Amino acid sequence: MTGTRETIAAARSVVVKIGSSALTSMAEGLDVARLDALADAIEARMRRGSDVVVVSSGAIGAGMAPLGLRRRPQDLATKQAAASVGQLALAHAWGTSFARHGRTVGQVLLTAEDIARRANHRNAQRTLDRLRSLGAVAVVNENDTVATTEIRFGDNDRLAALVAHLVGADALVLLSDVDGLYDGDPRKDPAARLIPEVDGPEDLDGVVAGSGGALGTGGMASKLSAARLAADAGVPVLLAAASDAASALAGGPTGTVFAARPTRLSARRFWVRHAADTSGGLTLDAGAVEAVVGRRRSLLSAGITSVTGSFDAGDVVSLHADDGTPVARGVVAYDSSELAGMLGKSTSDLAPDARRPVVHADDLVAV
């Protein structure tokens, strides 16, 4: 059996995500020398026959100095202003770096909605695919200036994992200012030890995933959840230092690798679990939680105690236990207004046209 490292080294299609901390510094802003070194490593991988999509953070970090901001902004409006200034510089810098190799760059800015809505999703897919077939490298970032708090991806590790799914990548490489996953934050605990390989959740027992640096967004926790998301999509992940990019992209023994799930979620279940917007929620009694999560059964109206939000048949809703804990997501078969009159009723008490499950087992994924 081929190991995770070998699979990543041989991957035909690779998404490479580079964190703000690896591209920008508080004092200098965008670090062009680091960008050049990264473009060289990516170009070398492309010349060896791989397609690469770049997900680049750093817009906010690159926009701070030109706007006279000394600390990473905390409020949305200032972050967006910094991103609008910084994204221009970032895209230009990537263009200049890759131009040294005669490689053309295309900028792709995405919002969470673009991934959550199937029509937009296909558009983004086509653009990325066409850029690839034309030999250009796509540089993706979140469209920070239009994203509001509610509809943000939240962090670019998650965006990169969703893009890896979108383009059907065979590997995701996360490049940061840290050279892998440690059992504790190495900035705070000098005795923390590097974990070279994560094969499943048991390898994460006792690992403390801390916050990020002054420029980064989600810290290690967001990298771990992105690795889980990629694993569900069947994509193995390598987390390595951006300063080791040449070795990481050439299959060197660096960083931490995360194995993919042996059987990937179907595209539909992946979308329900990770990408779709939820329009409302259903609260389940304990028996229904056990049936849908424990025994993978369809959800019937008898086990639903309340409905929140307003949704239409076909929307994705979130399913909660009675203490509010989210337990699953699924595609609902009824409008919220229809469901109100069905709660707690067993199937035989319902009108013949309301006897199909509220969420069919095929459309339901535990979270």
Query: For residue 51, what are the CA distances in angstroms to 46, 129, 196?
Result: 6, 10, 25
Judged by CB under 6 A, the residue of 16, 220, 291, 331 near ligand ADP is: 220
Query: Is the Cβ of residue 72 or residue 320 nearer to ligand ADP in the bound state?
Result: 72
Sign of CA dihedral 240, 60, 31, 114: positive
* Closest distance of CB 270 from ligand ADP, Å: 23
In single-letter form, the type of residue at position 232 comes to: D
- Supply 298's token pair: 């369809």
- Does 276 bind ligand ADP (CB under 6 A)? Our answer is no
Distances (CA, A) of 154 to 109, 157, 183, 223, 338: 14, 9, 24, 12, 33
- Cβ partners under 8 Å of residue 169, min gap 6: 11, 13, 14, 15, 53, 163, 235
Q: Is 86 in the site for ligand ADP (CB under 6 A)?
A: no
Report in angstroms how near the CB of residue 214 gets to ligand ADP at its nearest.
8
56 marked among binding-site residues: no
Q: Residue 184's binding partner, choosing from ligand ADP, ligand VHF, none, with beta-carbon cut-off 5 to 8 A by kind? A: ligand ADP
The contacts of residue 2 (CB under 8 Å, 6+ apart) are: 10
Helix (H, G, I), strand (E, B) or coil at 205: coil
Task: Give dist(CA 229, CA 237) in Å, integer.
Answer: 10
C-alpha–C-alpha distance, residues 54 and 94, integer Å: 10
219 labelled binding-site residue = yes
Stretch that binds ligand ADP, among 16-24, 71-79, 296-304, 313-321 (CB under 6 A): 16-24
- From the list ligand VHF, ligand ADP, none, which binds 114 (C-beta under 5 to 8 Å, kind-based)? none
Please give the residue ranges that form the binding site for ligand VHF (CB under 6 A): 19-21, 57-61, 83, 141-142, 144, 155-156, 212, 216-218
Residue (175 or 300) nearer to ligand VHF, CB: 175
User: Which one of ligand VHF, ligand ADP, none is in contact with 31 (Cβ closer than 5 to 8 A by kind)?
Assistant: none
Is 199 annotated to bind ligand?
Answer: no
Q: Which is nearer to ligand VHF, 161 or 358 (CB)?
A: 161
The reply to whether 216 sits near ligand ADP by the rule CB under 6 A is yes
- The residue (of 19 and 236) whose beta carbon lies closer to ligand VHF is 19
Among 126, 27, 116, 137, residue whose Cα is nearest residue 71: 27
Q: Does 178 bind ligand ADP (CB under 6 A)?
A: yes
Q: How many CA atoms lie within 13 A of 225 on its CB side?
A: 15
In angstroms, the CA 359 to CA 298 distance is 6
Q: Does residue 97 bind ligand ADP (CB under 6 A)?
A: no
For residue 237, the minimal CB distance to ligand ADP (Å) is: 13
Annotated binding site for substrate: 57, 144, 156
Name the residues that contact ligand ADP, by CB under 6 A: 19-22, 57, 176-178, 181-182, 184-187, 207-210, 212-213, 216-220
